[in-house]
């Protein structure tokens, strides 16, 4: 979607019409350019009403990301985090890793309204639509090597969960309806709500650049759900009222700064008990699917201090460092 479309969407309301002439004059373009840009927005899934002599109106309100609103909601954390919002990008993780190579500082957050090549774990595509998800990445730098950052993705998931449970920020009907799923998903029941993708750059013995990518489903359409290859849910289904995207992003960043500061000193050890208490599969019979396609049936026992999942298989204790885990008999 062209940049002009995002600018025009910020001018539209779901309560009253705005004339095409007024929009064209404000942005110094022709009325034809306004029409083409808003047609582009419609093709991206945004419902816009248009009437001759009246102009354009949104069918439903859309909250676009706004740096000033995010910074205001960050409070004191605004001193630690620098936020940039892009209209469209291939992947916030990929772009932030490129900027990290160019010297971008730790604490830099990149959020995007639309990702054309959003990525999840194991090369999966992250599906999102304008205004219906929250996708962003945070750059963080550690003096430690990547070998000493075991459990980081689990800690990030815990931070997101704590932010979602913060009174007033999301308004979950049941604060305990959302849980963690090893290694880095947030789920409601067996349906995925959010995911984490942590990528590192540097030497095994340090220092290490970390890019933390987070995607949260806010209001998935039926078409989007059908395109996802696993059960999925969104905050619209779990909240009394759909939360503000700007406040939600700020709330997650506040929590991330807190846990990343602690993790820098203690590692995963101090988070282990809290994470285990929130693990949706703790003590349950599961099926572990390995990267090579093989699988095994096991029972979840614990999580190790390096973030590995500890399971038992026929009385034997195993540490699982990577793989997909689902309830035994549940669809992957």
What stretch(es) of the chain map to CATH 1.10.10.10?
A: 3-58
Rounded Cα distance between 23 and 34, Å, is 7
- Residue 182's nearest CA partner among 168, 196, 164 is 196
CATH no. for 3-58: 1.10.10.10
Rounded Cα distance between 326 and 316, Å, is 19
The architecture (CATH level 2) of 67-275 comes to: 2-Layer Sandwich (3.30)
Rounded Cα distance between 257 and 241, Å, is 26
Average pLDDT over residues 170-194: 92
- Residue 27's nearest CA partner among 46, 50, 9, 42 is 9
What stretch(es) of the chain map to CATH 3.30.930.10?
A: 67-275
What stretch(es) of the chain map to CATH 2.30.30.100?
A: 281-327
Percentage of the residues of the chain whose pLDDT score is greater than 90? 65
Answer whether residue 104 shows pLDDT above 50.
yes
pLDDT tens-place string over residues 208-253: 999 999 999 998 877 777 777 788 999 999 998 889 999 999 999 9
Cβ contacts of 266 within 8 Å, gap of 6 or more: none
**Structure confidence at residue 125 (pLDDT):** 58
β-sheet bridge partners, residue 84: 110
The pLDDT confidence band at residue 331, using thresholds 50, 70 and 90, is: low
**Structure confidence at residue 332 (pLDDT):** 47
Burial class (CB in 10 A: 0-12, 13-18, 19+), 102: exposed
Average pLDDT over residues 248-270: 96
- Mutual angle of helices 31-43 and 20-27, in 10-degree steps: 100
> Which is it for strands 179-181 and 285-289: parallel, antiparallel or unpaired?
unpaired
pLDDT tens-place string over residues 36-69: 999 888 887 788 999 998 999 998 888 899 999 9
Rounded Cα distance between 279 and 281, Å, is 5
Stronger pLDDT, 4 or 250, i.e. the higher one: 250
Assess if CATH 3.40.50.620 describes domain 281-327.
no
């Amino acid at each position: 979607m062209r940049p002009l479309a995002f600018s025009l969407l910020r001018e539209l309301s779901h309560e009253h019409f705005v004339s095409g002439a007024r929009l064209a004059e404000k942005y110094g373009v022709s009325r034809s350019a306004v029409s083409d840009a808003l047609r582009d927005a419609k093709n991206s899934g945004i419902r816009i009403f248009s009437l001759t002599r009246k102009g354009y109106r949104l069918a439903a309100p859309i909250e676009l990301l706004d740096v000033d609103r995010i910074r205001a909601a960050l409070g004191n954390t605004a001193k630690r985090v620098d936020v940039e919002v892009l209209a469209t990008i291939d992947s916030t993780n990929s772009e932030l890793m490129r900027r990290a190579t160019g010297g971008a500082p730790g604490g830099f957050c990149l959020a995007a309204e639309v990702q054309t090549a959003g990525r999840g774990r194991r090369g999966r595509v992250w599906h999102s639509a304008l205004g219906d998800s929250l996708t962003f990445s945070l750059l963080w730098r550690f003096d430690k090597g990547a070998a000493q950052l075991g459990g980081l993705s689990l800690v990030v998931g815990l931070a997101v969960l704590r932010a979602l449970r913060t009174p007033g920020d999301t308004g979950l009907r049941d604060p305990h309806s959302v849980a963690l799923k090893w290694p880095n998903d947030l789920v409601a029941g067996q349906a995925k709500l959010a995911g984490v993708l942590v990528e590192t750059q540097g030497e095994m013995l340090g220092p290490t650049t970390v890019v933390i990518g987070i995607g949260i489903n806010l209001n998935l359409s039926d078409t989007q759900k059908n395109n996802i290859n696993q059960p999925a849910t969104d905050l619209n289904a779990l909240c009394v009222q759909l939360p503000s995207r700007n406040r939600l992003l700020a709330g997650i960043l506040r929590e991330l700064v807190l846990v990343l500061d602690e993790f820098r000193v203690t590692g995963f050890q101090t988070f282990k008990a809290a994470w285990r208490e929130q693990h949706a599969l703790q003590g349950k019979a599961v099926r572990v699917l390995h990267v090579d396609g093989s699988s095994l049936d096991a029972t979840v026992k614990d999580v190790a201090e390096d973030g590995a999942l500890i399971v038992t298989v026929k009385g034997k204790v195993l540490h699982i460092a990577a793989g997909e885990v689902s309830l035994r008999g549940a669809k992957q």
